[in-house]
Protein backbone atom coordinates (compact mmCIF):
# COMPACT_ATOMS: atom_id res chain seq x y z
CA UNK A 1 0.00 0.00 0.00
CA UNK A 2 1.07 3.54 -0.58
CA UNK A 3 2.80 5.59 2.08
CA UNK A 4 0.03 5.99 4.64
CA UNK A 5 -0.03 6.65 8.32
CA UNK A 6 -0.85 3.78 10.67
CA UNK A 7 -4.55 4.72 10.99
CA UNK A 8 -4.95 4.68 7.19
CA UNK A 9 -3.25 1.29 6.95
CA UNK A 10 -5.42 -0.18 9.71
CA UNK A 11 -8.57 1.17 8.04
CA UNK A 12 -7.54 -0.29 4.67
CA UNK A 13 -6.86 -3.70 6.22
CA UNK A 14 -10.21 -3.62 8.04
CA UNK A 15 -12.34 -2.68 5.02
CA UNK A 16 -10.49 -4.63 2.32
CA UNK A 17 -9.18 -7.66 4.18
CA UNK A 18 -5.79 -7.15 2.52
CA UNK A 19 -3.30 -7.48 5.36
CA UNK A 20 -0.23 -8.06 3.20
CA UNK A 21 0.89 -4.44 3.34
CA UNK A 22 1.03 -4.46 -0.46
CA UNK A 23 -1.19 -2.72 -2.96
CA UNK A 24 -2.97 -4.62 -5.71
CA UNK A 25 -1.93 -3.42 -9.17
CA UNK A 26 -4.34 -3.72 -12.08
CA UNK A 27 -3.14 -2.45 -15.44
CA UNK A 28 -0.62 -0.25 -13.64
CA UNK A 29 -3.14 1.30 -11.23
CA UNK A 30 -2.92 0.62 -7.49
CA UNK A 31 -5.88 -0.52 -5.41
CA UNK A 32 -6.02 -1.46 -1.73
CA UNK A 33 -7.74 -4.81 -2.15
CA UNK A 34 -10.00 -7.10 -4.13
CA UNK A 35 -13.29 -8.69 -3.11
CA UNK A 36 -14.40 -11.23 -5.68
CA UNK A 37 -14.25 -9.29 -8.94
CA UNK A 38 -14.57 -5.89 -7.25
CA UNK A 39 -11.49 -3.66 -6.91
CA UNK A 40 -11.36 -1.83 -3.57
CA UNK A 41 -9.84 1.49 -2.59
CA UNK A 42 -9.93 2.46 1.09
CA UNK A 43 -10.33 6.12 2.05
CA UNK A 44 -9.89 6.76 5.77
CA UNK A 45 -11.34 10.19 5.15
CA UNK A 46 -13.34 12.41 7.45
CA UNK A 47 -14.75 15.91 7.50
CA UNK A 48 -12.25 18.48 6.16
CA UNK A 49 -10.03 15.71 4.79
CA UNK A 50 -8.74 15.70 1.23
CA UNK A 51 -11.76 13.66 0.10
CA UNK A 52 -14.31 16.02 1.67
CA UNK A 53 -15.50 17.83 -1.46
CA UNK A 54 -18.27 19.85 0.18
CA UNK A 55 -16.24 23.03 0.60
CA UNK A 56 -16.66 26.03 -1.69
CA UNK A 57 -13.12 27.25 -1.01
CA UNK A 58 -10.59 27.60 -3.82
CA UNK A 59 -8.46 24.66 -2.65
CA UNK A 60 -11.45 22.29 -2.78
CA UNK A 61 -12.80 23.59 -6.07
CA UNK A 62 -9.53 24.13 -7.93
CA UNK A 63 -7.36 21.30 -6.60
CA UNK A 64 -9.13 18.62 -4.58
CA UNK A 65 -12.08 18.03 -6.89
CA UNK A 66 -10.02 17.93 -10.12
CA UNK A 67 -7.51 15.57 -8.46
CA UNK A 68 -10.26 13.25 -7.20
CA UNK A 69 -11.79 13.23 -10.69
CA UNK A 70 -8.41 12.27 -12.16
CA UNK A 71 -7.95 9.52 -9.61
CA UNK A 72 -11.40 8.04 -10.25
CA UNK A 73 -10.97 8.19 -14.03
CA UNK A 74 -7.48 6.64 -13.81
CA UNK A 75 -8.95 3.79 -11.78
CA UNK A 76 -11.78 3.35 -14.27
CA UNK A 77 -9.25 3.18 -17.09
CA UNK A 78 -7.76 0.08 -15.42
CA UNK A 79 -11.01 -1.90 -15.72
CA UNK A 80 -11.04 -2.91 -19.40
CA UNK A 81 -9.44 -6.31 -19.83
CA UNK A 82 -8.83 -6.72 -16.09
CA UNK A 83 -11.63 -9.19 -15.38
CA UNK A 84 -12.86 -6.88 -12.61
CA UNK A 85 -16.55 -6.00 -12.52
CA UNK A 86 -16.18 -2.61 -10.88
CA UNK A 87 -14.48 -0.39 -8.32
CA UNK A 88 -15.67 0.47 -4.85
CA UNK A 89 -14.26 3.24 -2.70
CA UNK A 90 -14.73 2.37 0.96
CA UNK A 91 -14.85 5.70 2.76
CA UNK A 92 -14.80 6.07 6.55
CA UNK A 93 -17.20 9.02 6.90
CA UNK A 94 -20.79 9.02 5.62
CA UNK A 95 -20.84 12.77 4.93
CA UNK A 96 -17.73 12.38 2.77
CA UNK A 97 -19.41 9.43 1.02
CA UNK A 98 -22.43 11.59 0.17
CA UNK A 99 -20.23 14.37 -1.22
CA UNK A 100 -18.25 11.95 -3.38
CA UNK A 101 -21.42 10.26 -4.66
CA UNK A 102 -22.83 13.62 -5.68
CA UNK A 103 -19.56 14.62 -7.37
CA UNK A 104 -19.34 11.32 -9.26
CA UNK A 105 -23.00 11.55 -10.30
CA UNK A 106 -22.50 15.11 -11.58
CA UNK A 107 -19.33 14.08 -13.40
CA UNK A 108 -20.89 10.83 -14.70
CA UNK A 109 -18.09 8.82 -13.12
Q: Give residue-wise pLDDT tens across range 57-104.
A: 999 999 999 999 999 999 999 999 999 999 999 999 999 999 999 999
Pairing mode, if any, of strands 24-26 and 29-31? antiparallel
- What is this structure's pTM? 0.90
Query: Domain-by-domain residue ranges, the chain?
Result: 6-107
Report the DSSP beta bridge partners of residue 91: 43
The 3-state DSSP class for residue 24 equals: strand
Q: b/e string for 66-92 if b means 16 or more Cβ within 10 A? A: eebeeebeebeebbeeeebeebebbbb
Confidence at 3, pLDDT banded by 50, 70, 90: low
Give pLDDT tens digits for 67-79: 999 999 999 999 9
The predicted pLDDT at position 4 comes to 72
C-alpha–C-alpha distance, residues 12 and 92, integer Å = 10
Amino acid sequence: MRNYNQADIEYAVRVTGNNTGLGIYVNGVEFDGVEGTLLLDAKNAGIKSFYDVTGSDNFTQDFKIPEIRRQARRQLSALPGSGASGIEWRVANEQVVRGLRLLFREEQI
